[in-house]
Amino acid sequence: MSVRRRKDRQGYLIDFTYEFPDGRKIRVREMSQHANLRAAKDEEAALRQAVKDGTYKIRAGEDTLAGFAAEFFRKGMLKSKPSTKAGYQTVYEQHFKKRLGSPKARAGTCCATPSPRTA
């Protein structure tokens, strides 16, 4: 099943692996922009077509490390202890932000990751 409900994120997750005719694989994982299952499945079909056509791009706001980190600390760590959040933020601020903050993240780092089984 490539569309499933995520209760912790209040929405639907689209998750599928597409195999190109030449054997390359790409995994797409994105939160749906819609609140119901039917619309999320339609969005998944559109994403599959975009990957097939070569027009798939990471959504705006998710394509930089800074954009991803802000959302991660805000939404992705809701159940973490304050000490864990502080530790992760310290590591990000001191090590990652300076080196990787402003350039666009590579397509393989955020939402579209190549499958590790590609030969």
Please tell me the predicted confidence (pLDDT) of residue 3.
92
Could you give the CA distance from residue 62 to residue 107 in angstroms, rounded to a whole number? 10
Please tell me the predicted confidence (pLDDT) of residue 72.
81
Q: Specify the DSSP element, H or E, that contains 49.
A: helix 37-53
Please tell me the predicted confidence (pLDDT) of residue 43.
92
Confidence bin at 10 (pLDDT 50/70/90): confident
Does this model's pTM top 0.75? My answer is no
Could you give the CA distance from residue 66 to residue 79 in angstroms, rounded to a whole number? 21
Question: Tens digit of pLDDT for each residue in 24-79?
Answer: 888 888 888 888 999 999 999 999 999 888 888 766 555 567 777 877 888 888 88
Question: Tens digit of pLDDT for each residue in 37-50?
Answer: 999 999 999 999 99
Please tell me the predicted confidence (pLDDT) of residue 33.
87
DSSP string, 41-95: HHHHHHHHHHHHHT---PPTTSSBHHHHHHHIIIIITTTS-HHHHHHHHHHIIII
